[in-house]
Amino acid sequence: MNRFVLPILALLWCLAPAAAWAQVEDYVPEASEVRASMKEPGWFAKLAFSGTAALSSTSNVVGTDDGSTWNLGSVINGALNWRHLKGHVVENTLSWQLTYTRVSVLDRFYKSMDSFDWTSTYMYEIPGIPWMGPYGRLRVMSSIFEGYTVKPEDTTVTRLEADGTVIGAPTVVKGRKNIALTDAFAPTTLRESAGLFARPYENPWFAPTFRLGAGAWQVLTRGGFTIKADDPTAGLTVQRMTDSNQAGGEAELAIVGKLAENTGYKLGSGVMYPFWSDLPQTPTGTDALNSEFSVGINVKLADWMGLDYSFKAVRYPLIVDDWQISNSLLLSITAAIL
């Protein structure tokens, strides 16, 4: 019975905000709502906490291990924006998603998602054409807690330096124990950018924003590792990541709106091509292109409950030269604090 205690307690914790707060909103339609609220001069603040939960169970299903899979997590979304009478606009957004997963073959919870993102943007709306103007932006992305992977069986782990040199002798990590990859707040990416923005069309159903400019990225890995090879026979091979700096041109498109009165969406895409990097060997041509694509859909089931789907695909060649893809479908209980 003890193995059911943590999931039950965590689920109750996720449901607690529903009783504690009466007025709640969804975080996907929030972007269009925030933008509408910024039509008048002054400050706008928003902070919402969501608990998420998912459960699946199988028995005697071909090709699947018997047992239950739990996903328990929390999402924090915030905004602090300011508008001046003469066209000066400051937008600050904050999000942090943390999820823990339990699968039957491991019989323990492990961290499966830890995504922190803070963005601060200054915009000046040109008199006479307020839908466009110059902008400057600072963005910080990181993971708050230590990163690791977990295997159900004893695993031989080989660690490599960034240049491929073997670090010491391989070690054996017991099954269900953490195999350390990164420290807390690693890797952390800092981004600074400036250029021109345009919001040529805007209504609750469709509101695009274009940005074109130049940017600089700094990646701080703190000596962390990424998985290079995972072979059931040979074991796990991890390789140290390298700090890097790069500068180049950026282009972005973001669209927010509603599909229905109770359904909101967000679409995002962006690319950054580096014209300079401090690494001695860097990719060239299209192999050097940093790319991001994201989709978010929220269905409001009740004032305090929503069904959230998110998709994200990113490729940062100077960190990991592969597409990193994540999908999630979660039932969320949300409390609006501000």
Q: Which residue has the higher pLDDT, 24 or 270?
A: 270
Q: ∠ at Cα 26 (23, 32), nearest 5°? A: 115
Take residue 236 and report the two structure tokens written for it. 């796990």
What average pLDDT does this structure show over 22-40?
A: 45
pTM reported for the whole predicted model? 0.83
Q: What is the pLDDT of residue 291?
A: 96
pLDDT for 62: 63
Over the Cα atoms of the chain, what is R_g?
22
**328 vs 289 pLDDT, higher one:** 289
Question: Which amino acid makes up residue 246?
Answer: Q
Q: What is the pLDDT of residue 8?
A: 39
Average pLDDT over residues 22-46: 56
Give yes or no for residue 67 having a pLDDT over 60.
yes
Average pLDDT rounded to a whole number, residues 177-200: 96
| Nearby residues of 199 by Cβ (< 8 Å), 6 or more positions away | 131, 132, 207, 208, 209, 210
**108-162 pLDDT tens trace:** 999 999 999 999 999 999 999 999 999 999 999 999 999 999 999 999 999 999 9
pLDDT at 15 over 80: no
Q: In order of start, what are the domains of the chain with their CATH numbers?
A: 2-336 (2.40.128)
Q: What is the DSSP string of 277-323?
A: ESSSS---GGGG-EEEEEEEEEEEEETTEEEEEEEEEEEETTTEEEE
Tell me the pLDDT tens digit for each residue of 235-285: 999 999 999 999 999 999 999 999 999 999 999 999 999 999 998 877 888
Task: State yes or no: pLDDT of 20 exceeds 70.
Answer: no
Of all residues in the chain, the percent with pLDDT exceeding 90 is 64
* pLDDT value at 30 more than 60: no
For residue 48, pLDDT over 70 is answered with: yes
CB-based burial of residue 169 (10 Å sphere; 0-12 exposed, 13-18 middle, 19+ buried)?
A: exposed
DSSP helix/strand/coil, 38: coil
pLDDT band at 63, cuts 50/70/90?
A: low
**DSSP codes, 118-169:** EEEEEEEPPTT-TTEEEEEEEEEEE-SS-EEEE-SS-EEEEEE-TTS-B-SS
pLDDT in tens, 229-245: 999 888 999 999 999 99
